[in-house]
Structure 1
Amino acid sequence: MHIKNLKVFCDVVDRRSFSQAAEDNHISQSTASNMVQQLEERLGVRLLDRSRRPFELTPEGECYYEGCQQLVKHYEDLEEEVRTLADAKARSLTVAAIYSVGLHHLNELWPQFTAANPRASLRLKPLHPQEVYDCVESGKSELGLMSFPKSSDTLGVELWYDEPMVAVLPPNSPLAGREEIQLSDIADEPFIAFDRKLALRGSIDRRLKQEGVKVEITHEFDNIENVKKDIEHGAGVSLLPELTVRAEIAMGTLAMARIAGEPLVRPLGFVFRRDRPRSELAGQFVALLRENVQRLSTDVSTKPQASLQD
C-alpha cells in the first residue's frame, strides 16, 4: 500500500476531519475518503466507526493507527536523510504559529526566509494555540510560535519579543483623536473581549482589575481578526497588539490610542521539543526572527515595555 494512503489515514485521525486532512495533503475530501476506504478494503476490517459524530477509531483502527504513525515517521526521516546526503540544502522545516503571528509578524519574514533557502522544503502552519502545542509535541512541527508560551515536561520555551498593546477604537469614537488614554477611559465604552480560554484574556482581565477598571463586555471572540471586524462595525473598543492593527490604522478603518502608565505587552516566544536537537534550518529561522526584534520594536513603539504576567 502506498505510503501516501497511510499518511492521509493518520492525518484524518489526528485532525478528526476528512476535509482538513484533505487540505493538509492538497487533495479533495472525496479522495481522502477513498484512500481510507481502500485501506479498509485491503485489510478487510473497519478502521473508523462512521456511525458516530465525530467518527471514532475501532479497536482495529487504533492498532493500525499506532503502527502507521511509526511507519510514516520512519519514512519521512528516511527521505530527509537521503535528501541531506544528496544535497545539504535540500532540508525541511515546519513551523506552527498562532494565527495572529502568522498573519502579521511573519508576512514579510517568512517569504524572506524561503527566498534564502530555495532548495529547502518549508511549511508554515497557522493554528489555534492548543493546536500549536500539539503539533510541536507530536513532532509534526519543530518550532511553535506562541503568545504567552508555556513550558512542560516535553516542551521547552524561548522568549522572543514583548509586543506592545494599544486601545483600538472605531474611527468615530470620542477617544479616537487622542494619542494616549487611561484605561479608566474605556470603562464607559462597550468592550470586545477575547474568549476566556485564551491567556491574553486572562492577562487583560488582571490588568483591568489591578487598575480598578470595570468594562461592559458585549462580545467575545477567540481570534484577533474577528475582534477587529467587530470594532470596525462600531460594536465597541478593545485592547490589541499594535502590530496586528497597523494596516487598518493606515487605511483609517480603525483608530488607536496608547495606554498611559505601565505599558501592556503580549509576550511572544518559541516552543520546541526538549528531547530533540535543533536543526540547522530551525536555527537559521530563529536567528532571523531575533535579528528583526529591533525593527519590530522600532516600528510599533519607542517606549520601554513590561510584560503582563501569564
Structure 2
Amino acid sequence: MNSGHLKVFRDIAQTHSVSRGAAINGISQSAASQILKHLENDIGVVLLDRSTRPLKLTPAGRLYFDASRDIVRRYEVMRAEIDSLKGELVGSVRVASIYSIGLYEMRRIREDFEEEHPQARVHLEYMHPEKVYEAVSGDQADLGLISYPTATKKLKVIPWRIEKMVLVCHPRHRLARKRTVEVSDLADQEFVSFDPDLSIRKAMDRFFRERGLLRKVVLAFDNIQMIKEALVIGSGISLLPERTVRQEVTEGRLVAHRIEAPELVRPVGIVQRRRTTLSPTAAAFLQYLQERPGD
C-alpha cells in the first residue's frame, strides 16, 4: 500500500475534484486519475461516483476514505516527528480561512513561514465561514481562521486578534468630511452591509439595536470585497475592519474614520479540532500565527 496514493485519494475525496486533488499533490490531473483507477482496481470496487459533479464517494468509497484518511494522518505525523528529531520541520499544514482575513496578508505569512522552514508547506484555502467550520471538523483542514469564532463539541477556539471597526464611505460622502464621527451620526444612514445570516451582520445589528438607532440596509453581500466595491461607487456607508480597507484608503478610493465606540470590534480566532494532536508543522504554524497577530 502506497501512502502517497492514499493521500492523493484523500485529497480528491475531500475536495470532490480530481484536478484540485492533483494540484494539492503537485501532480497532473492525468496522473491523479491513474492513481485513483489503480486503487479501485486493487480493491475491486468503485470509490468515486464520476457521474455527478462535484464527485461523490460511493458507500465503499466512504469506508475507504475514512481508513485512508486515518492512515495518511498517522503516517504524516510519524514522518514529521521523526524529521523533527533531526532538527528539521517538514510536511504540510492545511489552513481554511474566511476571505476577509486578507489575501495579501496570508500570502505574506505563508511565504515568510516557508522561507524559515524550506521543507514545510502551507496549503491555504479561502471559503465562507460555515465551510471553515466544516473543513476543520471534517479533517479537511488542520486550522481555521474565522471571525466571531464559536466553540463546538468538535472544535476549540484559540483567540488570535481583535480588529477595530471603522466607518467606511466614498470620499464625497458628507460623513467623509467630519473630523470625528459619533455613533449618533450613523443613525438613518444608508448602509451597505453583510448578508443577514453572517455573524458580523448579527453583531452589527445588535450594536445598533442596543443603542436604539435605526439604519437602512440598501445592499447586502456575503464578503467584504463586494461591499468595498459598492462603497467605491457611492452606494452608501459601511462598518468594516480597519485593516481590510487600508489599500483603498491609501489609493484615495475610500475614506475610513474611527468611531467613538471602543466596543465596536471584530474578534478573529483560530479553530482547531478537540482531542487532536497537531503535526509538528501544523503546531509550528499555529505558534507562528499567534506570535504575529498583526497590528
* TM bin (shorter chain): 0.7 to 0.9
User: What's the counterpart of residue 90 of structure 2?
Assistant: 91
Change in CA separation of 1:224 and 1:89 when aligned onto 2, cut-off 3 Å: same
TM normalised by structure 1 equals: 0.80
SS of the residue aligned with 1:176? helix
Q: Is 1:170–1:237's contact at 8 Å kept on the other side of the alignment?
A: yes
Q: Per-residue deviation at 1:192?
A: 1.7
Q: Is 2:89–2:280's contact at 8 Å kept on the other side of the alignment?
A: no
SS of the residue aligned with 2:191? strand
Q: Is 2:80–2:280's contact at 8 Å kept on the other side of the alignment?
A: no
Change in CA separation of 1:5 and 1:236 when aligned onto 2, cut-off 3 Å: farther
Q: Is 2:148–2:266's contact at 8 Å kept on the other side of the alignment?
A: yes
Task: Output one character per residue of 1:103-142: Cα deviation in whole Å (capped at 9) or x when no partner.
Answer: 2554544433333333434444434323333333344544
Change in CA separation of 1:244 and 1:218 when aligned onto 2, cut-off 3 Å: same
User: What's the counterpart of residue 195 of structure 1?
Assistant: 195
Task: Output one character per residue of 1:60-82: Cα deviation in whole Å (capped at 9) or x when no partner.
Answer: 22222222222322332333234
Change in CA separation of 1:31 and 1:291 when aligned onto 2, cut-off 3 Å: closer
Q: Is 1:165–1:263's contact at 8 Å kept on the other side of the alignment?
A: no
Task: Output one character per residue of 1:4-59: Cα deviation in whole Å (capped at 9) or x when no partner.
Answer: 43323222222233343333333444554444344334444322233344443222
Task: Output one character per residue of 1:230-285: Cα deviation in whole Å (capped at 9) or x when no partner.
Answer: 22233322111001111110111111122233441001122223323566655654
Matched, 1:22 2:9: no
Change in CA separation of 1:70 and 1:109 when aligned onto 2, cut-off 3 Å: closer
User: What's the counterpart of residue 162 of structure 1?
Assistant: 162
User: What's the counterpart of residue 147 of structure 1?
Assistant: 147
Change in CA separation of 1:13 and 1:292 when aligned onto 2, cut-off 3 Å: closer
- List runs of 5+ in structure 2 lacking aligned partners: none
Letter aligned with residue 167 of structure 2: A
TM normalised by structure 2 equals: 0.83
SS of the residue aligned with 1:234? coil
Q: Decide which moves more: 30-39 or 212-221.
A: 30-39
Q: Is 1:102–1:126's contact at 8 Å kept on the other side of the alignment?
A: no
Please give the alpha-carbon distance, in whole angstroms, between the structure 1 residues aligned to 2:283 and 2:24: 25
Give 1:20-169 correspondences, 5 Å limit: 20-85=20-85, 87-92=86-91, 94=93, 95-103=95-103, 105-169=105-169
Task: Output one character per residue of 1:119-169: Cα deviation in whole Å (capped at 9) or x when no partner.
Answer: 434444434323333333344544332211111223222222211001111
Letter aligned with residue 137 of structure 2: E
CA RMSD, aligned part only? Answer: 3.0
Q: Per-residue deviation at 1:292?
A: 4.4
Please give the alpha-carbon distance, in whole angstroms, between the structure 1 residues aligned to 2:49 and 2:213: 51
Please give the alpha-carbon distance, in whole angstroms, between the structure 1 residues aligned to 2:247 and 2:225: 12
Letter aligned with residue 88 of structure 2: K
